[in-house]
Amino acid sequence: MLAPTALEHEEARRIKQEEMIHECNLWEDPAKSNEILIKLAGSAKAIDALKDLKYKAEEAKLISQLVEMEAINYQLFKQAYTASLDVRKLLDQYEMSRLLKGPYDKQGACVVIRAGSKGLNHEIWKEELLNMYVKWAEKLGYKGRLVEKHTSMHGGIESATIEFEFECAYGYLSGERGIHHKINSQNGSVHHEVTTACVDVVPLFLGTGFDFQIDDEELIVSCSPSLLRDRKSRTELTVCLQHIPTGISVQSSGERSHFANKVKAHNRLKAKLLVIAEEQKVCDVSSIRRADIVDEWQKETRRYVSQPYKLVQDVRTGIELPDLNSILDGNINTLIGAHINIRHTE
């Protein structure tokens, strides 16, 4: 989709959302109103990005015309090249967002990074992944909110939870679920040092309530044993929930009260169950077949090779990228786009 056409589409969508705000009573249905306002903010951001894209495209076109007239210097040529890269980047991002058709793709995302194995190197690797996702969001103009971080006796990360409260975050990041391996072979040795981290991603619903409840009889409520070893954590506030019918477990410890953590844990559990129900193509959560639950976040997703050469291998899409440092610096849109394209063609 060309920038002017995309801009017209987004402006029409914003007008429609503004009409919906005028038609509904903001006080009578706060959840629906909040959902509309979030979508309106998303449209406004998309419009700003597309206007910037249109400007950069016109700038690049003008400079290319100057090239044909041989009325250009090196600085202008460099400016045109940078503008063309920006145009491609913005257009790719917009096109990628248009492919997000899943029922929860437009929601925010809750990313949980946990230990694959014990040890300082594994904890350092989780810190690198945490920074990778935070930097990725920053490059899009957003911020990730670190809501939970549990440290080991070494000072490294045992687990961390980040919330991305912007539209389409779940659609972008859902393909990140799984085991992320970092592989290092020192001095040409045939023995590889492998560090692991497990990444889980669930939708973070932006202003939309859940239309189902989970009976207390279906839940086991407890405190995480691992947190009891963390002297700095307020373990009395931590809530761990296990859903008996499915065996799915979640926890929350980042809020300031036990009640708030219980609410957040319930919401995470509901979000996870909704995703499983959608994957199994059943009509509601009560119809989930426990035996058929595929724990995607326990499957290998990606390999990051740091020695003897630098390479990132995406297991599910088959993509290989040579610039490990760039990936860890948050430039993961190529990998994200590949996962979205696969889902779109399935």
Nearest to 24 by CA among 40, 8, 12: 40
Sign of the alpha-carbon dihedral angle for 80, 81, 83, 84: positive
Arithmetic mean of pLDDT, 242-260: 91
**Which band of pLDDT confidence, cut at 50, 70 and 90, is reported for residue 232?**
very low
In the sheet with 239-243, reading across from the earlier edge strand, the strands are 219-222, 239-243, 249-252
**Which band of pLDDT confidence, cut at 50, 70 and 90, is reported for residue 31?**
low
Q: What is the pLDDT of residues 110-161, one digit of tens each?
A: 999 997 778 888 999 999 999 999 999 999 888 999 999 988 887 788 899 9
Enter the pTM of the model.
Answer: 0.79
How far is the C-alpha of 64 from the C-alpha of 73, rounded, in Å?
A: 12
Write the burial class of residue 276 (CB in 10 Å: 0-12 exposed, 13-18 middle, 19+ buried): buried
- The partner residues of 196 in beta bridges, in order of sequence, read 181
Q: What is the pLDDT of residues 172-224, one digit of tens each?
A: 999 999 999 999 876 655 667 899 999 999 999 876 667 788 999 999 998 75
List all residues 6 or more positions away from 275 whose beta carbon is below 8 Å from its beta carbon. 104, 202, 203
pLDDT of residue 69: 63
Domain boundaries, the chain: 3-98, 108-345
**CATH class of this structure's domain 108-345:** alpha beta
Evaluate if residue 333 carries a pLDDT over 90.
yes
- Are 274 and 104 in contact by the 8 Å Cβ rule? The answer is yes
Record the tokens describing residue 100, joined without a space: 């997000």
DSSP states of 252-319 = E--SSSHHHHHHHHHHHHHHHHHHHHHHHT-SSGGG--GGG---GGGSEEEEEE-SSS-EEEETTT--
